[in-house]
Structure 1
Amino acid sequence: MVTGHGFKGGWINGHTRGRYLDDKFFRPILERADALRVPLCIHPTPPPAPVIEAYYAGFSPVVINGFSRHGWGWHIETAVHVLRLILSGAFDRYPDLQIVIGHLGEALPFMMPRLDKGLSVNVTKLNRPVADYLQENVYYTFSGFNFTPAFLNLYLQVGADRIMFSADYPYSSMAEARTFLDQLPVSTADKNKIAHGNAERLLRL
């Protein structure tokens, strides 16, 4: 699809029946994405049913839905998925593999220093600290998270070269996303990278 039809990457909606991309079953996908130099986007999906039952049950259906999905669970689920990939050594095996996640990093930027402290190289036996993979093998999009403090945390942790504009339309307002982009407290050069330059480079547009 990439070489024959010009596809620019792959889209994966989280776990597949409870199996994550670190499962050996999915290694051919990671290997091929690495070889073709195309990114894989991990989109949130509801946590596995046992997790929903253990963590999110006991409330009204509408609260459970928001708590386990768009209000919290989707984001933590995706963050766990990315960490599983890192801890499995996937990026040591496939060093050119690039992952794209949304929502200003699914809370991972906030946790980077803690991850490096709690999961040091002595513990993980990886080639690099956890934060290195988050800074060198992951790209981050807005995805409707038009929140300046969260953006600045991501910006300070990974820099402008790893952040890409997105609007999450129709679930979030395109106009709000554009206004948020225009008002970012960064240089014009960095704003241009975020608006289009990074996507052009990553997707070879």
Structure 2
Amino acid sequence: MLAPPGTPPGATLYLPGNIAELGPWDPGKPAMTDRGNGIGEATITVPDGTDIQYKYTRGSWETVEEWGSITGTNNRSVTVDGGITRTMLVDDTSTAWDDPGVPDTHLAIQYWRDPLVVSASAAGSAVTVRFQRDIQPARADYSGSVTVTGPSGPVAGAAGEPTPGTLLWTPSATLAPGSYTVTVTGVSSTGPAGVPMREPYVTTVTVP
């Protein structure tokens, strides 16, 4: 399994599914082994012919993968066939999301259900925050969703979403060169199944 960009460093990933070895359907079981570079791995022993349905999570249904056809009650699936070696590798690491000939059930995770920040950058005229996926305000609007603090304290400004999945915070006055702390909160994923950010995202950006 390959986790998407923006997955929190050190996050434990899980593999819940429809059989006892995978929970069953407990979003916090079983934990996967971190192999580095976003790769997670789990090994189970089951009879040949077992039909398995499963998804990947970060420990809850609010942090389950949700993208493409892997939404709601639509799951990944595989039928176990160990062959002569009695082993089977399920490789969910391909990022060919735009290839119509490759089913979503065996591609890497594209997005999690909750919105995660992929990057934040700054210039004197704005702070740009990019998410994995499209977003919407968790409250009435994006007021207070992005706060910026400089050496002299909080900086006045306002945030908006000029393009899907991107917040642009514009300061009331041009930011002077230096380091600023950016906090992002109050943002939800879109649609009826949308959930808010699990915790504020905090980072430091530098205005050249």
Q: Structure 1 length normalisation: TM-score?
A: 0.24
Q: Structure 2 length normalisation: TM-score?
A: 0.24
Whichever structure has more helix as a proportion of its residues is 1
Larger radius of gyration: 2
